[in-house]
Structure 1
Amino acid sequence: MPIVTPRMVLRALGALLLGVLVGAVGTVMHRSVRPWGLVVCLLLVLAAAVTVRAWAGWTGSLGLLVGLFGSVQVLSGLGPGGDVLVPGGDAALGWGWALGALAVALGVALAPRRWFAEVPLRRPSAP
C-alpha cells in the first residue's frame, strides 16, 4: 500500500472539487436536450474520471466519486423555493443521470491500473 503524501492529499482535494463541479453541471444540464443532454453529461463524467484516475490514482478517483455523488444528491433535493432540478415525473432521465454518473465513475475507478500507466510501447527490434 502506498504511503499517503501531501501531494496525494492535494490531488484528492482537487479531484473532489472537480467532482463537485461535474456533478453540478451534469445535474443542471442532463435534461437540456433529451436524450443527448444525458449522454453528453455522462461523457463529461467519463472524461473527468479518466483524467483524474491517470493524474491522481485511486485517491483521486475516490475524491471524484465523493464530490460527484455528494453534489448530485444535494442538488437532486428540494430547493429553497420548492423547485427541483431532478423531478420525479421524469424518473427515467433522473435515475439515468444519478445512477449512470455513479456507474461510469465507479467503473473507471475499478478499471485495471495498467490502463492508466505511462509505459512506453515496445518497438519491434529491427532485423
Structure 2
Amino acid sequence: VDRYGPAVVNISSTTNKVIHQQHNPFPPNSPFYQFFQHFGAPGQAGPGHQQHEKIQSLGSGFIISPDGYIVTAGHVVRGANHIVVTLTNHHAYPAKLIGLSVRYDTALLKIDAKDLPTVPIGNSDHLKV
C-alpha cells in the first residue's frame, strides 16, 4: 500500500437509460386494470410510458502510465455517458474510455494529467500460490 497506493484510483460513472414500461397485463374489466394503466405502456400516451433512469457505478482502477492511462473493470464503465477518476490526493478528472473488453471485463481509460504515480504490470508466469 505504501509503495503503490497513490496509483490506485476511484472511478465513478453515470449512465442514462430509457426504461420502457410493460404493457398493462390486465383486461379493461379487471379491478387491477386501472391501477396498472397509471404506469402506462409503450406506444400509449400518458404518464410513465417512458422513464429516464440515471445509473451510477463505482469501482477502482490503477494508473499504468505517468501520462494518465488507467486500467479498470469493464463493467464499471460499460455504456457510461460520464466517467470521473479521483486520485488519492482528491483531484478529480473527467476520463475518456479508450478501450473495453467485455470478454475479459477490462477497460482502459485516459485522463489529462502528467507525472502520475504508476503501478507496473507484472508477468503472470511469475505468480505463485
More helix, by proportion: 1
Q: What TM-score do you get using the length of structure 1 for normalisation?
A: 0.24
Name the larger-Rg structure: 2
TM-score, length basis structure 2: 0.24
Structure with greater proportional strand content: 2
